[in-house]
Structure 1
């Protein structure tokens, strides 16, 4: 014999609330009510085993209650580490209580014509764009689309009109560069990130500006092109080892490059940090076993995903597109790969004014 499904009216009676209040809360409109009222309704629904009729709910509100998580296959390096997983965990944490589904949408390389078919087919209410790159066809698609979107993992230029959530790349890199300078390093190299990623552009810009603010030269022969990978870090280290004059410290735009850079230096007999200081950015788990432990910059990837989903949901609920951005603060993580330069290591350094580290 089939078990009878509980009704909305029974949930309302169990919670001691009106039908309207109960319906609104079960549809995710929690901001309209006090926290204790929301919890009372949700507890009653759980106790009775109530599940909303999603088809009826979708027809009533003309929604699919699904969002798309979009990434481009040609630039899927972010999915090969834990970044995308942390972001997705944050997205799901926000959307799960609202009973939204997440649809993973992969865009093939060299097929900009497929974007409209994949993104505008009526199966989602909005999209989270996972780290769209500088030349991404998604940016052109967005100019003509009225679907709510949020860029997650890329802080895009304001003129593109796309809301974004990411770490404050420039603030984090400035904090790291200032701290390395304060340890006595005046001759600092830099390993750039992937040339098509906005985060790489922002981190390099902050490094160069901080060096200039302290009156320190940026020597182009000490600027190396990485790609957010361990192997690119190894290649950059080989390029540095071939130089007659070397910096006393190298800052990498990401931890993968830093890991490869350190491994290659150690393999060629350099001591870290006695012969060369190295720092990274992102505090990825892959660098935690490194010896010595990597000095880096930490940021909350889970929070990035959570806030991106919230920003997208608010657009869907209000029916109004937004263009504001959220840049989350970063934290300096001081470990063992940066030390003051030794007397035999340092080049003749210019005198620079003292300056407090921005925390």
Structure 2
């Protein structure tokens, strides 16, 4: 494998001149630059990314730590983050924690040793551990995305989850529903808590009583939605509508309902959350709360770039506003209901 010394020897210049030509760090005459570039091409020379990063103090890479999820929302978000990084001239190193704190620490050690310019965190298991790790490695520009902890010295991109839960419930109320249940996500997770709070706010604002039998806790997956529907089927009195904490649980509700002769939306209206790509192709197409993954990703990457450029700037929390997408899973009831 050719080295920078081989290129310098073939071009008849110093290694520092080769470096200046490759990195555009100083003016070099056109004649010498052409010789160097010809030598690079002839020897098929590839500069060492590690050596270059040490010289210019940047690797043009970001690290991203995520907890794996079967939810397509996250895979779509990660895809958009990688695209946003690429557009800014950065490479993304993606590490999946599998919800394991030891695995997260191992990935974090590796990313910091590789001198990534910044970190994007989207994993809740960092809550009680991250501060100590960053004390060991110094200040690394970091942006917390949605499901991560809020830490001093880090910027945060958050879903306005309380507002989303409110919008979902308010839509059902506006469509004439009064008997409205809620399938929450796991309540130790902040987004689940906030969406539940939005549901409660809408119900209280409308003067409606929350029936505790219609409030169930899921796991943000299809199976927990399926099991929740089975539990509702055991009740003598059922809600006319359900707010699901995400689209995956809404899918489970719809699947179990279809298997047991409950028609959506005729017998039960359902509103989901996230607007995953599959939502429009469900039967019926799912009314849901839309989160713009492309915009979330772009804002997160831009915020991290700004933090890289100015590590002393004040902490920022950017709230992403959700919106309601109306499809076919909600039935309009008469005003007298």
Same fold judged by TM-score > 0.5? yes
Shift in CA distance, 65/310, structure 1 to aligned 2, threshold 3 Å: same
Which of 65, 68, 76 pairs up with 2:63?
A: 68
Q: How many pairs were matched up?
A: 303
- The answer on whether the counterparts of 2:143 and 2:304 sit within 8 Å (CA) in structure 1 is yes
- The answer on whether the counterparts of 1:189 and 1:251 sit within 8 Å (CA) in structure 2 is yes
Gaps of 5+ in 1: 13-18, 21-50, 347-359
- The answer on whether the counterparts of 1:70 and 1:130 sit within 8 Å (CA) in structure 2 is yes
Which of 149, 174, 177 pairs up with 2:142?
A: 149
1:312 corresponding residue in structure 2: 304
2:211 matched to 1:219?
yes
Counterparts of 1:249-260 in structure 2, within 5 Å, are 249-260=241-252
In 2, Cα distance between equivalents of 1:306 and 1:179: 29
- The answer on whether the counterparts of 1:194 and 1:200 sit within 8 Å (CA) in structure 2 is yes
The structure with more radius of gyration: 2
- The answer on whether the counterparts of 1:253 and 1:280 sit within 8 Å (CA) in structure 2 is yes
Counterparts of 1:333-344 in structure 2, within 5 Å, are 333-341=325-333
In 2, Cα distance between equivalents of 1:83 and 1:275: 28
Gaps of 5+ in 2: 1-6, 12-17, 28-45
C-alpha displacement of 1:267: 1.1
SS in 2 for 1:337: coil
SS in 2 for 1:288: helix
C-alpha displacement of 1:81: 3.5
- The answer on whether the counterparts of 1:233 and 1:261 sit within 8 Å (CA) in structure 2 is yes
Counterparts of 1:23-62 in structure 2, within 5 Å, are 58-62=53-57
Calculate the aligned-residue CA RMSD, in Å.
3.4
In 1, Cα distance between equivalents of 2:146 and 2:107: 20
Which of 81, 94, 99 pairs up with 1:91?
A: 81
Q: Is the deviation greater in 274-283 or in 126-135?
A: 126-135
1:262 corresponding residue in structure 2: 254
Counterparts of 1:174-189 in structure 2, within 5 Å, are 174-189=166-181
- The answer on whether the counterparts of 1:152 and 1:308 sit within 8 Å (CA) in structure 2 is yes
2:231 matched to 1:239?
yes
C-alpha displacement of 1:57: 5.2
**Deviations along 1:246-272, whole A, 9 cap, x unmatched?**
111111010110011011112111111
Q: Is the deviation greater in 238-247 or in 138-147?
A: 138-147
Shift in CA distance, 123/10, structure 1 to aligned 2, threshold 3 Å: closer
Shift in CA distance, 110/60, structure 1 to aligned 2, threshold 3 Å: closer
Task: Tell me the TM-score normalised to structure 1 length.
Answer: 0.73
In 1, Cα distance between equivalents of 2:226 and 2:22: 64
